[in-house]
Amino acid sequence: MNASEGRIVVAVDVGTYKVVTVIAKVDEYITAERMAGYSASHIIASIGGSQIECLNSRGVVAVSNPNGEISPTDLARVIDAAKAVSLPSTKEIIHVLPRNYTVDGQEGIKDPIGMTGVRLEVDTHIITANSIAVRNLEKAFSEVGVDVDSFVFNGYASSFSVLSDTEKELGVILIDIGAGTTDIQIYTEGSVAYSSVLAIGARHITNDLAIGLRISLESAEKIKLYLSQVPQKRVIRPDDAEGRKEQKASDEIDLAELRLPEDLTKVSHKTLVEGIIRPRLNEIFTMVGLEIKKSGFGGQTPAGIVLAGGGAMTVGIKDSAKRMLAMPVRVGTPQNMKGIIDEIQNPAYATVIGLAQIGSRMGEEKSLPFGFSLPKIPGMGGSGKVMKKLFELTHERILSKPSY
């Protein structure tokens, strides 16, 4: 077997709504049934929550080689220098993402190796997490016999699978709306500039529907999902029916097929969409707007907004985002996976696919931002058994009712 043959990456996204595992073979996508006999090279898991914070830090070193040629060692040293930030004892660094290098005052260099200079500087983006949250997640995995190689910030993982290189170059904002949290990842000039997590998500929309209609959360969730499927254009135009005046179809939607225990069958579409859902969406995007302002990168993202996460499928979401943030908006689905099953080509799977993509590149040092990977956790038991266990666990969770 050559080095790349049979290289397997197991990606686990532990969300508040769903837990999903993707098992990917580098250059190929395999199904769980075919995975026996492969060994897992990397198990990579998501980490999120509003304890995620970021800062941008600069490192400076003198180039060590007397002839001034910059080596990978210099890069490692300058990144270490940038990492030397004072953090509260409860926080730890999970990613150090280099943004730009400066060699003897010449800014904006992406790959300085081989260049000649005396002074090397780097601008990095550092993402931190609460140490207790990291330990707890590690513990939860190890209790089921799984050792995780790396934890990756949710928003960063999603940005990997849904954003194009052009968008990142131009400047773009990824917003992953999950059930409990909304992740924000801003890119400028091709690299990560800002990361943040808001403690609000699509679960709040379900709550609002439950309260507004006086129904259970389960029923409210069903209605919410149903609404994102019914056609939005409900107006009969005059050219459709000769000479007839423009008529509005009834605003009522029929919920009979949902068979809700509350016996709710007819509700006003307008009340649900404009009266209940839209105000909450507007609130989410107002909070996102404040966060963009706080980042200091507002106005540097001409590629606009890319929405991901299950919440990105909420009815009317694009209009709300466009209006509140005054930027172009698109809904992103995971890209660049071969043989992917349709079911997973959905904004809700942006994180897990992004994790798999990051994991698949972890062996190739150059294809990930330098300084990206976490220290390897010793004793990673990469066996088919581990994957089977993971698959069983997550499969059970997916098949069981989501918790919200």
Ligand X SMILES: Nc1ncnc2c1ncn2[C@@H]1O[C@H](COP(=O)(O)OP(=O)(O)OP(=O)(O)O)[C@@H](O)[C@H]1O
Binding site for Mg ion (CB under 5 A): 15, 178, 351
Give long-range contacts, CB 8 A cutoff, 24+ apart: 2-7. 3/363, 6/38, 6/39, 7/41, 7/360, 7/363
Structural contact between residues 8 and 39, judged by C-beta atoms closer than 8 angstroms: yes
Nearer CB in complex with ligand X: 180/332: 180
Nearer CB in complex with ligand X: 87/225: 225
Amino acid at 285: F
In sequence order, which residues have a C-beta less than 8 Å from that of residue 26 and are 6 or more positions away? 4, 7, 8, 9, 360, 363
Instruction: Tell me, residue by residue from 22 to 61, as one string, x for binding to ligand X by CB under 6 A and - for no binding.
Output: --------------------------x-------------
Of how many residues is the chain composed? Answer: 404
Residue ranges of alpha helices (H) inside 296-383 are 317-325, 350-360
The interface partner of residue 221, options being Mg ion, ligand X, none and the CB cut-off 5 to 8 Å by kind, is ligand X
Joined together, the tokens standing for residue 387 give 């994957």
Nearer CB in complex with Mg ion: 219/351: 351
Joined together, the tokens standing for residue 58 give 């600069």
The interface partner of residue 23, options being Mg ion, ligand X, none and the CB cut-off 5 to 8 Å by kind, is none
The DSSP symbol for 377 reads P
**How far is residue 172's CA from residue 168's CA, in Å, rounded to a whole number?**
6
CB of 18 to ligand X, least distance (A): 4
The interface partner of residue 196, options being Mg ion, ligand X, none and the CB cut-off 5 to 8 Å by kind, is none
The interface partner of residue 121, options being Mg ion, ligand X, none and the CB cut-off 5 to 8 Å by kind, is none
Nearer CB in complex with ligand X: 192/353: 353
CB of 228 to ligand X, least distance (A): 3
Of positions 225, 236, 380, 393, contacts ligand X by CB under 6 A:
225
3-state class (DSSP) for residue 311: helix
The interface partner of residue 101, options being ligand X, Mg ion, none and the CB cut-off 5 to 8 Å by kind, is none
Of positions 171, 311, 332, 371, contacts ligand X by CB under 6 A:
311
198 DSSP β-pair partners: 182
**How far is residue 18's CA from residue 397's CA, in Å, rounded to a whole number?**
7
**How far is residue 90's CA from residue 154's CA, in Å, rounded to a whole number?**
20
Tell me if 309 contacts ligand X by CB under 6 A: yes
Nearer CB in complex with ligand X: 38/285: 285
The interface partner of residue 202, options being Mg ion, ligand X, none and the CB cut-off 5 to 8 Å by kind, is ligand X
- Binding to ligand X, residues 160-219 (CB under 6 A): 178-181, 201-203, 206
Q: Which string of b and e fits 122-154 if b means at least 16 CB within 10 Å?
A: bbbbbbbbbeebbeebbeebeeeebbbbbbbbb
Tell me if 221 contacts ligand X by CB under 6 A: yes
- The residues that touch ligand X, with contacts defined as CB under 6 A, are 15-18, 48, 154, 178-181, 201-203, 206, 221, 224-225, 228, 309-311, 313-314, 348, 404
